[in-house]
Structure 1
């Protein structure tokens, strides 16, 4: 929930008594700006178009009035929420279920891909009144005739811009077309790109031709002015070396570290724990009870560092977080705002630290514009500075111990050692210091010099001519979301056109199950019985195993590395060209049938606009 004070209470919004009773039990008393506007509008029967960032209380803005529309005695789907990812679907479902705890007979079902159909079908046929799901699985259930929307009273699209980025726009259009004309509709999004506005214009106008209530909650950029933003360019040291040095030298209370995948949360956490830090992962592998326990331990101080992915950390509200570290940069600028908003809570100051590579420098300018702030460039402590820090820290600890007194027994031991060994007090102290040095060196080895190619890459980032000389493409525009700094491997999956698969289906499965941002999913090429997809080099084994079990169109992906296969980017010799292949560049001749698509970049409307006429 947002901390914005409004002067109103939930009791002023004419919510049902059972809902108000539960809100009081949850200590929710003050609604946020979007809740003040959206709740009365939805309860009055209007459609709503809400533009607000994550963390402003959007779930309650549609969840609370949605529950007021539900008849718990009617065993049928009455409220439908479409979310872009499995994690967000689960998060929304858990929130709505908690809001409705005092409503006897209320059932909330969560449906998403990559999980067995059986339990989900059972929940729907059992008459769950609230259904929260991802686009692909909802569409499958609609086609099977299991999801019946005839009694639907409210349909909600949550995080619509994220669904657009993941290529789900066609699925959303199909789902919304199945919503009865008598149902209320609501669409919430952090941004409003043209495709989302077109969707809103198509589906949010009611039977009487009335336009939806357009609610715009301005980004709280001024509040983020208390957040200091600093950036370090990755060179010389590895990210992990830099991270441990920062954590050792920073004065922090709690730290939230953002990484790319759930596998990364485990790897980074294990290395931090090995270095003596109190760290824990927060990923989709944890159930709700485990997540709540982890957050509770963070608040209490048993854990000081949390390593998380974007999706799981959305909505995390721990005022004690003083630092956010972007170990991996996010896939889009909006996610950056969500990330750094986890610090500087409740009027406190905070600090956001970024690790970036030379080719990612342009992203920092976008971050500055979006946050209306300035990013400072800095260097992590070098070996000499780290050595001095450790020596100073040890000296302070020794002085503190001496100041506390009660050292008579230790003094007697030292005196006995002197008498028994004829060693001086200085020699004994030096030997003890040497033992301490073996555990954590007080004299750190000199840092390696930055590699020459890294220095050249930095120069090329500033010099377009040198970049062209190195046969590199210039900075990619907004139509190409793939990270230019990522190297890819080609993988083969056992799902193709014969199974009804589309590029957005593959992107959705990989993004949801592997927690891989669509920015890091490269080219996708569809064949009849299989497909090829580009994923980042060095994909962790744990992620590959998860993706092997993931399903697209009810078909197991069975993903495997395909080093001998190459995704076509230009017209190959006729004999080598897959039948019906669509060239991936504008203006090239296109054979009939198949297509090669960029993963997770654009919606169906944009793909159609690129097709040769």
Structure 2
């Protein structure tokens, strides 16, 4: 079946050919002929099925351009969806002269909307709250309305617009044609359809899965504090065009966007705190290619339809399947392929199973891209830069003479000169990643003559406590002791500290000395000559979700005047006496009730 078979006019068909639409989706094939015949419709369809075209094409096909009062009103739950629907109408009406479409939503000044309404508009697309405002002010005339669409009606009810929707329906002519679209059919929507629609035809599009088969769905099990490194590695090895990264909170989106910009990626965050003009500007930059990565919350991204989106990353996996479907539905639209990657902490594995059951589609577990994979990609891109430069023959000729002059005067092989020029081009940034650091291991200290040595093997939490004199030890030459604001209460381990600091600070395994984990902080030996830039990056690093606030250790209140540490003494709450760890009775190693 083609769009021509549905009864649409030549002007609309020409616009569809220009935007690349060839065959109608299931909801379009069932809905368009019914609406063209003048019947009301209740459409049950998930997001991303093409329902916007299903109601927009019949409206445009029958539009009377000579009528200056609004002929069609589309209600949408969010301003993002309203803008998306407006863009669709304008695209489909590309070969009809004089069609005016007006988005009406909160956050935009009334002046622009009032001016457009006075000049005359044919189609109004808006959120219920702002439509009610115009009706109360008498600035929106719906007396000659012919078509009314309720888009994502279930979402409007969830957002508390039920009363506004019914008020708007009551203000419109009884002769209008109504199309209601919803992913679900709760009792309230069923009642509205029975009360305000005239013998509607119910059209249900059932898919085998709720998610598009065009979307590759993968997930990676990763610790929370390793997510940023995991995202960076995926960005290096994935061939993506545009990307949306979803975070659970506003602060997370801003932090991700900032760290991506620091790593050289073109990224920006949108969330509920971003003003509407800035949101629109950011989305337009994403569409035009000036921005590659959008970091967003669920609400901010609802209704986004950008053809460039090839990848969706769930930096924080959603806790319900519906949000997951909405998120990954931002890619793989209109027959295109897409990729969805979710970062899952070990405790969140159950969410993956829940999503698989709800969507009836399996998610593929993948490993973190290795250092070798990242380096292969970096070398390939470096090769491409060289190849592109070699294509500029005129500039190559001029520089060839300069290189030859240097070789003659300094007696240096051309290969060394080329390597030196590569160093100049690369700057301070490393071209290749170093191998992942292994966790720093402290040598066991056992003295056969010390009968109490075994008492330092493990404490009652299963960890190795510091000896009373260990805090007073001096770091080895060239090293300094730094304090970080995470400790045993955050359940950190040496390997987590090494991994986080190595990734954020570009440190190697040899750069780490002793690591001491205390109840509320930890002490780490690092090179004494760390640059201010490295210290700044490390101070904003997070481990177990908490800023580590790395700084040189100056002793502080946690050190005792005798050089011991707060771990060197322990309070016996029953007797009020201070005593050393080796004075307390040894607890059983197996079968203890407090394990």
- TM-score range relative to shorter protein: 0.5 to 0.7
Q: Which residue in the other structure is 1:252 paired with?
A: 239
Q: Which residue in the other structure is 2:164 paired with?
A: 171
2:144 aligned with 1:157:
no
Q: Which residue in the other structure is 2:434 paired with?
A: 443
2:340 is aligned, of 352, 360, 363, to 352
**In the comparison of the two structures, how many residue pairs are matched?**
434
1-side partners of 2:73 and 2:192: how far apart?
17
| Aligned positions of 1:333-352 closer than 5 A | 333-343=321-331, 350-352=338-340
2:196 aligned with 1:203:
yes
Are residues 156 and 454 of structure 1, via their aligned partners in 2, closer, same or farther at CA, if it must alter by over 3 Å? Answer: farther
2:83 aligned with 1:96:
no
Contact 2:43–2:181 (Cα < 8 Å) also in 1: yes
Name the SS for the 2:173 alignment partner. coil
Are residues 143 and 190 of structure 1, via their aligned partners in 2, closer, same or farther at CA, if it must alter by over 3 Å? Answer: same
Name the SS for the 1:439 alignment partner. coil
Q: Which residue in the other structure is 2:35 paired with?
A: 42
1:380 is aligned, of 361, 368, 375, to 368
Q: Which residue in the other structure is 1:216 paired with?
A: 204
Name the SS for the 1:62 alignment partner. helix
Name the SS for the 1:237 alignment partner. helix
Does 1 or 2 have the higher relative contact order (CA < 8 Å, sep 6+)? 1
Q: Which residue in the other structure is 1:276 paired with?
A: 264
Contact 1:233–1:358 (Cα < 8 Å) also in 2: yes
Are residues 346 and 48 of structure 1, via their aligned partners in 2, closer, same or farther at CA, if it must alter by over 3 Å? Answer: closer
TM-superposed deviation, 1:240: 2.7
TM-superposed deviation, 1:414: 8.7
Are residues 397 and 131 of structure 1, via their aligned partners in 2, closer, same or farther at CA, if it must alter by over 3 Å? Answer: closer
Contact 2:142–2:171 (Cα < 8 Å) also in 1: yes
Unpaired runs of 5+ residues, structure 2, are 391-395, 441-485, 493-545, 548-595
TM-superposed deviation, 1:186: 0.9
Write the deviation string for residues 221-255 of structure 1: whole angstroms up to 9, x where unpaired. 3984564433335535354333112222x242435
Name the SS for the 2:231 alignment partner. helix
Range 143-152 or range 434-443, more displaced: 434-443
2:134 is aligned, of 121, 134, 141, to 141
Contact 1:78–1:152 (Cα < 8 Å) also in 2: yes
Are residues 375 and 285 of structure 1, via their aligned partners in 2, closer, same or farther at CA, if it must alter by over 3 Å? Answer: farther
| Aligned positions of 1:286-301 closer than 5 A | 291=283, 294-297=286-289
Write the deviation string for residues 100-131 of structure 1: whole angstroms up to 9, x where unpaired. 34444433222112233333234334442321
Are residues 169 and 443 of structure 1, via their aligned partners in 2, closer, same or farther at CA, if it must alter by over 3 Å? Answer: same
Are residues 304 and 8 of structure 1, via their aligned partners in 2, closer, same or farther at CA, if it must alter by over 3 Å? Answer: same
TM-superposed deviation, 1:138: 1.2
1:240 is aligned, of 223, 228, 232, to 228
1-side partners of 2:404 and 2:21: how far apart?
60
Contact 1:418–1:425 (Cα < 8 Å) also in 2: no
TM-superposed deviation, 1:267: 5.6
TM-superposed deviation, 1:77: 2.4
2-side partners of 1:285 and 1:263: how far apart?
20
Write the deviation string for residues 380-416 of structure 1: whole angstroms up to 9, x where unpaired. 35xxx53x55665677789999999999989968966
1-side partners of 2:103 and 2:185: how far apart?
26
Contact 1:235–1:451 (Cα < 8 Å) also in 2: no
Contact 2:70–2:144 (Cα < 8 Å) also in 1: yes
Name the SS for the 2:138 alignment partner. coil
Are residues 437 and 377 of structure 1, via their aligned partners in 2, closer, same or farther at CA, if it must alter by over 3 Å? Answer: farther
Contact 1:112–1:137 (Cα < 8 Å) also in 2: yes
Q: CA RMSD in A?
A: 4.6
1-side partners of 2:133 and 2:401: how far apart?
74
2-side partners of 1:294 and 1:110: how far apart?
20
Write the deviation string for residues 309-355 of structure 1: whole angstroms up to 9, x where unpaired. 6565746464782x321224457533422433455568776532112
Question: Greater Rg, structure 1 or structure 2?
Answer: 2
Name the SS for the 1:49 alignment partner. strand
1:129 is aligned, of 112, 122, 127, to 122
TM-superposed deviation, 1:27: 4.6
2-side partners of 1:85 and 1:222: how far apart?
22
| Aligned positions of 1:480-559 closer than 5 A | none
Are residues 305 and 196 of structure 1, via their aligned partners in 2, closer, same or farther at CA, if it must alter by over 3 Å? Answer: same
1-side partners of 2:54 and 2:385: how far apart?
54
Are residues 430 and 165 of structure 1, via their aligned partners in 2, closer, same or farther at CA, if it must alter by over 3 Å? Answer: same
Are residues 203 and 330 of structure 1, via their aligned partners in 2, closer, same or farther at CA, if it must alter by over 3 Å? Answer: farther
Q: Which residue in the other structure is 2:76 paired with?
A: 83
TM-superposed deviation, 1:136: 0.9
Q: Which residue in the other structure is 2:451 paired with?
A: none
Are residues 435 and 117 of structure 1, via their aligned partners in 2, closer, same or farther at CA, if it must alter by over 3 Å? Answer: closer
2:355 aligned with 1:367:
yes
Contact 1:69–1:153 (Cα < 8 Å) also in 2: no
TM-superposed deviation, 1:84: 0.5
With normalisation by structure 2, the TM-score equals 0.60
Name the SS for the 1:231 alignment partner. strand
Contact 1:155–1:185 (Cα < 8 Å) also in 2: yes
Are residues 115 and 109 of structure 1, via their aligned partners in 2, closer, same or farther at CA, if it must alter by over 3 Å? Answer: same
With normalisation by structure 1, the TM-score equals 0.58
Are residues 143 and 362 of structure 1, via their aligned partners in 2, closer, same or farther at CA, if it must alter by over 3 Å? Answer: farther
1-side partners of 2:99 and 2:322: how far apart?
35
Unpaired runs of 5+ residues, structure 1, are 1-6, 457-536, 539-613
Contact 1:230–1:353 (Cα < 8 Å) also in 2: yes
